[in-house]
Structure 1
Amino acid sequence: MRIFGLVLIALACLAPIVWFAPLAAARDPIALFSQYLGVAALIVMGINQFLATRAPGLETIFGPLDRIYVLHKWLGVIAMVCLGLHDIIDAEMNGLRGGALAGIAEDIGEVSLYGLLILVLASVITFIPYHLWKWSHRLIGIFFFMGAFHFFFIEKPFSNSDPLGLYVSAFCVLGIVSYLWMSLLRPMAPRGHGYTVDTVRHLGGLTEVVLKPKRRGLRHKPGQFAFLAVKGSGLSEEHPFSLSGAPREDRALRFSIKDLGDYTHRLRRELKEGMEATVSGPFGHFTMPSGRDPQVWIGAGVGITPFLAFAESLKTRETGPVKLYYCVRERDDIPYAVDLERIAEEVGDLELVIVNSNEGVRLTPERISEDLGGSVRDAHVFFCGPVAMRKALKTGLVLKGLRASRFHFEQFEMRTGIGLNALAAWLWDQGIYAIEKRRAAKTQPAE
């Protein structure tokens, strides 16, 4: 996530203070602060709707798309906090006269607040099924439009034609246009690159799909991902997957997709050769650096997919020594192990290490450091796998001298929570502990 983009968002939210400050001398400052919170929420939501469009240039300003998804989530949470405080803190001011729609705007604002609150909570409560969340998430734009209506017609100490009114209105229009584009116009507009499914293979729990372009096709770098949609059979909804093949001259693409949910299960069952597909992208900055510094690649389970593209690309580029740790649980189910061993034989700088947890073997920062001769400072580490494993390895390697900026990973999750599951688990544990403590106290003999 780029600091530049975060600064732009912060400045966009703070800019209205320039116009609100002079109003404080003649108006109730508490009510004025409440109105500022409402304005800030609209600005954040307008920006958030725009981020959802995946418009060209967003990655340049805000960072890779995986980080934009995380930013999108937290901006939604921040907007809800601002709206909640705006509702709690009385924003009414004496001496203001609203128009004919002021009363309706007040009621619509209440509906917008509670509708957005429910939908944002549905987004961060990750146990709600994906297809239900996806359907409900589309309604956010409708409640945002209602919030904009509330702003346009509610009683306030400035008019919509004032600089402050025009400023906030611009973000309202940005959000509404972005929503209309995503929900109505974009599905009808041609997008992405047309492909035909060339081959389909089932490798253990993975479905390997090779696509041939109908025309030019997209150009990608090893480690990037793209959105795949297949025409027909209930597979037309876009889903992001890592590109597991290195770039080819004919621009054919390869995806290696793990059966992890409803969509991927349906894709494994129904995808056939000859079907038409659309691929949008590529996205992501999970790409190899130039230079001869040592590299460590860590792929856990399906996290091996971007490193397949990395390994294949070594045939046509020079790099420093590379150590690839392939972390698995079942030695009999290791897709692409033979392919990676063959590439390692062809490319002298690549060493493949299978780490099988069922054999009691664990990948630790200590082992990585030892394999690099005791020094990790000059290495680049690339990781794709479970979050807990990533955090443990990064923390340990940084303590051993690795520069944090050289630990590369993608937060490749369409939905992430805000710690509600952990909070619920902690509250549950505390409740169980309290019950057991009371039971123990009752069973102890009196002295």
Structure 2
Amino acid sequence: MTKPAKRPRAAILGMPLRWMGPGAVLVLAVAYALFWYAVRPAGEPVLGYVGQLFGGESVLLYSIALVLVSTLPHVEPIFGGIDHAAIWHRRAAISATVLLLPHIEFAASPEATSLGKMLAVVAICGLMTLVVWAILPRWRTMLPAAARRVVIALLQTRAFQLAARLLGGYERWRGFHRLTGLFVAAGFLHGLLDASAFEAAPALRWSYVAIGATGLAFYAYRELLSRHFLPHHDYQVSGVRTVAADLVEVALRPLGRPLGFKPGQFAMIYLETAEGWQRHPFSISGPAGEGGISITVKALGDHTTRLPDVIQPGMPAVVGGPYGRFDRHRGTADQVWIAGGVGITPFLSWLRSLDGELHENVHFFVTSAGPSPFADEIAAVARNHPRLMVHMVDTAADGRLTPESVLEAVGTEPRRLSVFMGGPDTMLRQFRKAFRAAGVRRANIHREYFQWR
């Protein structure tokens, strides 16, 4: 009887860290609430105290959110990659904003200072605007079908189209998003000035100060110091190749020390185009000539739609990173790779970087509307690696790929599988839920996030 292959040591060591980050956020929030309960001063009104607790929890979650986007190297492994940290940053910030609503309702104090009130208004208006602006791109997934029709009709009106022009664009949102720490600082100072519980319980005050100061220190590091510590590499565009109607591959040649990366990682790419410098995270789709790298860009919106028209060979670029922990070596001996649309890029990097034999049994599912532009390249790699079984799914001819069809084609006990996925968020959420229900271990399901906002 053949013994099952041992899981790589890197996978065993990496699994706890992947889930330690989200679990730590929940533990900190609960522990802070219990601390407020334990040190509640005598005579403090219940509703007012609960309202102040919600304010303190909001500052805690905002501070965690600021830590998560600090780009410090030590944050990334705890959350399983900077893309996962960015998603948890968004979740923590949205949760913190929701907690402001009961805080406003219950914590109003007649003894509040005029400065504290002004700071509260600045903080709430700024943070609410950031959260609403952040969730606008995914409004379709948050509304029932009946409400969507109403919203679509409103979007056709002149007023909404004007607002879209004013608020649209990733770069504009990103510029305003950089003010997050200033709005958190305003809310933090409001709490110091107006929280009545701090006078009777100094332990509450100093724990609040420690939490807020930590978050703001990370924010100051990111805005003022991180550029001096994070590695950046000078590159030049060496080629632009149209792969499909809405897909291009851009080759970048190093002008100095090249970026060292692992297949499956992504980088922050700064491109000087005909419309000025533009910044965006891109998965590295593989090595390129002269020690360079290549990225695959799909027209998803913002400046990526216009990228093929504004970028030309010879233009300068700056590459930051690498980031991400999307690594097939963290998986088991039996693996499933699922690539939807532009989510194929990290898998291309894996295939293009194969050195020697593929030791895992891999079923690679590639789904696209029409024939995949990378079908011939993938088939050529598969011919040299018999353990790689490729399943091309043309949704226009074959219908949508489903989790059930994947498991049926693989035919392996789900608990032995590792699943790696890249593609549209809605699709991956559906697949993740189905794989968990079928018995795939939570720690063995890996995905890469493409939309951080």
Instruction: Give 1:258-273 correspondences, 5 Å limit.
Output: 258-273=298-313
How far apart are the structure 2 equivalents of 1:148 and 1:357? 51
Structure 1: gaps spanning 5 or more residues? 416-447
What is the match of residue 270 of structure 2? 229
Query: What's the CA shift for 1:263?
Result: 1.2
- Counterpart CA distance in 2 for 1:406 and 1:22 is 42
2:250 corresponds, among 209, 223, 229, to: 209
Percent identity, aligned pairs only? Answer: 30
Moved more, 292-301 or 398-407: 398-407
The aligned counterpart of 1:241 is 282
**Counterpart contact for 1:196–1:275, Cα < 8 Å:** yes
1:294 aligns with one of 311, 320, 334: 334
Greater helix fraction, Structure 1 or Structure 2? 2
Q: Secondary structure at the residue paired with 1:243?
A: strand
Q: Are residues 159 and 309 of structure 1, via their aligned partners in 2, closer, same or farther at CA, if it must alter by over 3 Å?
A: same
Match of 2:87 among 37, 57, 70: 70
2: CA distance between counterparts of 1:259 and 1:268? 9
- Aligned counterpart for 1:354 among listed residues 392, 404, 417: 392
Q: Would you say the 8 A contact 2:332–2:416 is kept in 1?
A: no
Alignment of structure 1 residues 36-435 onto 2, 5 Å: 36-92=53-109, 102-126=113-137, 129-131=168-170, 132-154=172-194, 156-158=196-198, 162-184=202-224, 186=226, 191-204=231-244, 205-234=246-275, 236-245=277-286, 251-289=291-329, 293-331=333-371, 334-373=372-411, 375-415=413-453
Shift of 1:377: 4.0
Report whether the alignment pairs 1:8 with 2:19: no
CA contact (8 A) 2:418 2:445 kept: yes
SS at match of 2:355: coil
Contact 2:338–2:365 (Cα < 8 Å) also in 1: yes
1:217 partner SS: coil
CA distance in 2: counterparts of 1:160 and 1:268, whole angstroms: 62
Q: Compared with structure 1, are the counterparts of its residues 111 and 236 closer, same or farther at alpha carbon in structure 2 (3 Å cutoff)?
A: same
For each residue in 1:50-73, what CA deviation from the matched residue of structure 2 results, as whole angstroms up to 9, or x when unmatched? 212221111222332222222112
Distance in structure 2 (CA, Å) of the matches to 1:301 and 1:277: 25
Q: Per-residue CA shift, 1:22-60, capped at 9, x if unaligned?
A: 343232232222222212211211221221222111122
**How far 1:267 moved relative to its partner?**
2.2
Distance 1:315 1:188, change over 3 A: closer
> Match for 1:84: what amino acid?
L
Maintained 8 Å contact 2:335/2:363 = yes
The answer to which of 282-291 and 54-63 deviates more is 282-291
Question: What secondary structure, in the 3-state scheme, does the structure 2 residue paired with 1:236 have?
Answer: strand
**2:57 and 2:438 mapped to 1: Cα distance?**
43
Residues 140-160 of structure 1: CA deviation (Å, up to 9, x unaligned): 333222212212322524359
Relative to structure 1, the CA distance from residue 185 to residue 261 in structure 2 (aligned partners, 3 Å threshold; closer, same or farther) is same
Quote the offset at 1:244 in angstroms. 0.7
> Is the Cα contact below 8 Å between 1:197 and 1:212 reproduced in 2?
yes
Q: Offset at 1:79?
A: 1.0
**CA shift digits 1:108-131 (9 cap, x unpaired):** 213322332232122122266343
Superposed CA RMSD in Å reads: 3.0
Which deviates more from structure 2 when the two are superposed, residues 386-395 or residues 143-152? 386-395
Compared with structure 1, are the counterparts of its residues 36 and 345 closer, same or farther at alpha carbon in structure 2 (3 Å cutoff)? same
Structure with higher Rg: it is 1
- 1:237 is displaced (CA, Å) by 3.5
Assess if the C-alpha contact under 8 Å between 1:294 and 1:320 holds in 2.
Answer: yes
Deviations 1:240-281 (A, max 9, x none): 1111115x8975211011122121123221212222211122
Q: Whole-Å Cα distance in 1 between the matches of residues 440 and 332 of structure 2?
A: 16
Alpha-carbon spacing, 1:111–1:262, altered in 2? closer, same or farther (3 Å):
closer
Unaligned runs of 5+ in 2: 1-16, 140-163
Q: CA deviation at 1:400?
A: 4.5
SS in 1 for 2:337: strand
TM superposition shift of 1:395: 4.2
Aligned equivalents of 1:197, 1:249: Cα separation in 2: 11
Distance in 1 separating the partners of 2:363 and 2:24? 39
Could you tell me whether the CA contact under 8 Å between 1:301 and 1:385 is conserved in 2?
yes
2:39–2:201 CA contact under 8 A, matched in 1: no
Counterpart-to-counterpart distance in 2, 1:176 and 1:402: 40
Give the equivalent residue in structure 2 for 1:443: none
What's the CA shift for 1:76?
1.2
Higher relative contact order (CA 8 A, sep 6+): 2
**Aligned in 2, Cα 1:130/1:201: closer, same or farther, shift over 3 Å?**
same
The 1:367/1:111 distance shift into structure 2, 3 A limit, reads: closer
